[in-house]
């Protein structure tokens, strides 16, 4: 019995090591190769019976995306992005405190965590997925670096029904490329990210307009686009 248990334990260790090697290789590949598709794109495709738009995103390099757009998502989603290690522990603590005080458990995911989820995982809320999200967040933060993380994030995030990435959003909503987004348009796109299939920058509600104004104020408070110099 002990011998059988030992063999099973060794098998599990080998399997774990293999999975780690595969995951590291996968992440390293995406440092140089743009992800052709994400799990969410596939899920939406089959949910919508083939979807209304293309299944892949319209990829743009880091330098082909407006600094206004980069700052808008940082201001809206992860203001410590250039300096954190993939996790904002202060935001996590504040979210837990709010929950303990009887409030709703709000999200405290960083851009790095969201990128890990979007590229490698599925959108289900579970402890297993959150654990894998944390693992992949550590990998991409260390292997990719901040600039690549932000580039991938801006290209794979859902920005509407069947719309992925900020360039496709810019084309659909404003008829221009992500390179030419001004601060107001960029802030409106960032404002819809919590629920992009419900909200639209083309038809902003009063709430979206107030959120867009808040995002612009946060950008100003961070020092404007010069804040991007902190991203390596």
Could you tell me if 179 and 197 lie in one domain?
Answer: yes
Rounded Cα distance, 74 and 147, in Å: 12
Q: What is the pLDDT of residue 119?
A: 96
Structural domain that includes position 143: 35-230
Could you tell me if 16 and 115 lie in one domain?
Answer: no
Provide φ and ψ at 192, rounded to 5°.
Answer: -85, -10
pLDDT along the chain (232 residues), means of 10: 74 89 97 94 77 63 97 96 84 53 59 96 86 95 97 96 94 95 97 94 95 97 96 88
Could you tell me if 29 and 40 lie in one domain?
Answer: no
Rounded Cα distance, 32 and 144, in Å: 9
Rounded Cα distance, 174 and 217, in Å: 22
CA 104 to chain centre: 22
Q: Is the pTM of this model over 0.75?
A: yes
Tell me which residue has tokens 């998502």: 73
Query: Taking the C-alpha atoms of 213, 66, 151 and 222 in order, what is their torsion angle to the nearest 10 degrees?
Result: -40
Could you tell me if 17 and 84 lie in one domain?
Answer: no
The strand pairing partners of 160, in sequence order, are 163
Nearest to 170 by CA among 186, 192, 146: 186
Could you tell me if 8 and 102 lie in one domain?
Answer: no
Rounded Cα distance, 56 and 161, in Å: 13
Q: What is the pLDDT of residue 11?
A: 80
Could you tell me if 12 and 58 lie in one domain?
Answer: no
Q: What is the pLDDT of residue 105?
A: 44
Rounded Cα distance, 105 and 4, in Å: 45
Mapped onto helix, strand or coil, the DSSP state of residue 18 is helix
Could you tell me if 131 and 214 lie in one domain?
Answer: yes
Q: What is the pLDDT of residues 172-183, one digit of tens each?
A: 999 999 999 999
Residue ranges of alpha helices (H) inside 144-205 are: 146-156, 166-174, 183-192
> Within 13 Å and on the Cβ side, how many CA atoms surround 6?
3
Rounded Cα distance, 89 and 112, in Å: 13
Could you tell me if 151 and 127 lie in one domain?
Answer: yes
Query: Taking the C-alpha atoms of 160, 165, 168 and 170 in order, what is their torsion angle to the nearest 10 degrees?
Result: 80
Specify the number of domains making up the chain: 2
């Amino acid at each position: 019995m002990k011998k059988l248990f030992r063999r099973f334990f060794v098998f599990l260790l080998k399997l774990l090591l293999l999975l780690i090697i595969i995951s590291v290789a996968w992440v390293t590949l995406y440092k140089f190769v743009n992800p052709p598709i994400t799990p969410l794109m596939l899920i939406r495709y089959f949910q919508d019976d083939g979807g209304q738009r293309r299944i892949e995103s319209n990829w743009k390099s880091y330098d082909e995306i407006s600094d206004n757009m980069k700052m808008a998502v940082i201001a809206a989603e992860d203001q410590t992005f250039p300096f954190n290690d993939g996790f904002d522990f202060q935001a996590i603590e504040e979210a837990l405190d709010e929950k303990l005080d009887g409030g709703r458990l709000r999200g405290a995911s960083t851009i790095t965590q969201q990128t890990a989820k979007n590229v490698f995982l599925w959108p289900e809320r579970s402890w297993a997925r959150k654990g894998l999200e944390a693992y992949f967040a550590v990998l991409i933060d260390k292997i990719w670096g901040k600039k690549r993380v932000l580039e991938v994030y801006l290209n794979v995030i859902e920005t509407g029904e069947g719309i992925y990435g900020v360039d496709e959003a810019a084309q659909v909503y404003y008829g221009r490329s992500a390179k030419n987004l001004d601060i107001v348009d960029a802030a409106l796109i960032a404002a819809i990210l919590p629920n992009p299939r419900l909200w639209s920058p083309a038809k902003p509600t009063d709430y979206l307009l107030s959120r867009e104004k808040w995002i612009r104020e946060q950008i100003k408070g961070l020092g404007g686009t010069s804040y991007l110099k902190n991203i390596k």
